Amino acid sequence: MAAAIGAGLPITEASGNMIVDIGGGTTEVAVISLAGIVYAQSVRVGGDKMDEAIVQYMKRKYNMLIGERTAETVKIGIGNVYKVDDEVQTMDIKGRDLVSGTPKTMEITSTEIREAMTEPVNAIVEAVRISLEQTPPELAADIVDRGIVLAGGGAHLKNIDVLLSEETGLPVVIAEDPLSCVVLGSGMVLDQLDLLKQVAIST
Amino acid sequence: MFNVFDAILGMFSNDLAIDLGTANTLVSMKGKGIVVSEPSVVAVKTGPAGQRKVLAVGVDAKEMLGRTPGSIVAIRPIKDGVIADFDHTEEMLRYFIRKVHNRKNLVRPRIIICVLKGIKK
C-alpha cells in the first residue's frame, strides 16, 4: 500500500492499480482500489533468494564457494533476467575452490547468472500471474490499461520489466526511485493525515 | 481532548516514516525527505563477561557481514520480511531514530511504519 502511494498511483480512485514490490526477503503483489486492498499476495522470494541461488549455482557448477555479499555484487553488476539481445556481460568473481581449498578468481557471464536466478525469478512471475487470476474482472480491465507498477529494490534488476510484460502481456512500468517508494509513501500520508485514516490498519 | 493535545504536539514533533525492510531500512522526515537509507545490518560485540555492545549499524555493519571473528556477530535481524531477532532490530531502529531525531526537542517523534499485508506473527 505504502509503495503504491509512494509510486504516485491514484489509489483513492475507483480504479484498479497493481503494484509489485520486490523486496529483499519478500515480494508483495497487491491490487488496490478506493484506498483499500482488493487482493494481495506475498511470496517469500526476493533479493536474498536470488543471492542464495547464485551461491548454490556456483557451488554446483564450478565447485566454488562464494559469499552472499559477493553473490549480491554479481547480481547487481551483471544480473539480467531476460534475454533481449546477444550482449553478454562478464564479471570476475572471487571465492574458494571446494576441491583444492584455495581462493581463486573466475570469470562468469550474465547468461550463467540468469540461469542461476531462474527459479526465484519464476516464483515472482508466478505470484503476479496468480494475483491477476484472482483480480475481479472490472479491476483487471483497469490493469490492462494502466499496467503493473514495479517497486522495491528488485525492480532495479535488469529487464525484470521486460520479462513480466512478456509473461503477462501487460504494460509494466518501474516506479521512479523504486527503492524509496515505501518510505516516500509513508511520508506522504504523514502530510495527509486523512489519507492515513483511510489506509491505516488497526491492531 | 486527547486529540487536541496530540495535534499541538504534532506541530512541534518531527514526523518520521520508516520502511523497515529485509535488505534496506529507509527513514524519511516530514519536510526533509529521505534522511537515512542504509542496509538493515547490525554488528554486535559480546564482551568476556557477556555484555553486549553495538559496534556498527548500516553500511559499516554490512562491510562486516561474513568477515567477523568469534566475538562479533554481524547479522541481518529481519528475515523474509519478518523480524527474526527483536533485540537487534530494536538496537538498529534506536540507532536510526537517534541519528535523525533531535533529542533536544523534548517532543517524541510521531512515527509511521509499514507492515506487510498478510503478516501473521
Q: What is the ipTM of this complex?
A: 0.81
Q: Does A201 touch chain B (CB under 8 A)?
A: yes
Nine-digit cell at A36? 483499500
Q: How far is residue A76's CA from residue A57's CA, in Å, rounded to a whole number?
A: 16
Tell me which residue in B17, B78, B116 faces A42 most closely, judged by beta carbons: B116
**Is the confidence at residue B1, as pLDDT, over 50?**
no
Distance to chain A for B4, nearest Cα, Å: 14
Question: What residues in B contact A180, CB-CB < 8 Å?
Answer: 26, 28, 34, 37
Check CB contact under 8 Å for B24 and A24: yes
pLDDT for B120 beyond 50: no
Partner-chain contact A186 B33, CB within 8 Å: no
> Are A23 and B81 a contacting pair at CB < 8 A?
yes
Q: Which residue has the higher pLDDT, B8 or B29?
A: B29
The pLDDT value given to residue B83: 85
Q: Do B26 and A191 touch (CB under 8 A)?
A: no
Whether pLDDT at B18 is above 70: yes
What residues in B contact A47, CB-CB < 8 Å?
A: 22-23
CATH fold for the domain made of A2-46+124-202: Nucleotidyltransferase; domain 5 (3.30.420)
Compare all CA atoms of chain A with the CA of B117 and give the residue at the minimum distance. A40
Divide the 203 residues of chain A into consecutive groups of 10 and give the mean pLDDT of each group.
84 89 91 89 91 95 92 92 85 93 93 93 95 93 93 92 94 91 86 78 62
pLDDT at position B3, please? Answer: 62
Residue A128 amino acid letter = V
pLDDT, residue B121, reads 39
For chain B, the average pLDDT equals 80
CB contact under 8 A, A25 and B24: no
Give the residue extent of every domain in chain A.
2-46+124-202, 47-116
Inter-chain CB proximity A186 and B19 less than 8 Å: yes
**A197 Cβ neighbours under 8 A, 6+ residues apart:** none
How much is the average pLDDT of B96-120?
Answer: 71
The pLDDT value given to residue A58: 94
Question: Any chain B CB within 8 A of the CB of A81?
Answer: no
Share of residues in chain B with pLDDT > 90 (%): 9
A 170-199 near B (Cβ less than 8 A)? 179-180, 182-187, 189-191, 196
| pTM for this model (two decimals) | 0.86
R_g of chain B computed on alpha carbons: 16
- The yes-or-no verdict on residue B119 having pLDDT over 60 is no
The domain made up of A47-116 is a member of CATH 3.40.50.300: no
For the cut 50, the answer to whether the pLDDT of residue B7 exceeds it is: yes
Q: What is the pLDDT of residue B10?
A: 57
pLDDT over 60 (residue B102)? yes
Is the minimum CB–CB distance between A47 and chain B shorter than 8 Å?
yes
State residue A55's pLDDT score.
95
Q: Which long-range contacts (CB under 8 A, 24 or more apart) does A110-114 make?
A: A110/A78, A110/A79, A110/A80, A111/A83, A112/A57, A112/A61, A113/A54, A113/A74, A113/A75, A113/A78, A113/A79, A113/A80, A114/A79, A114/A80, A114/A81, A114/A82, A114/A83
pLDDT for position A174:
94
pLDDT at A140: 93
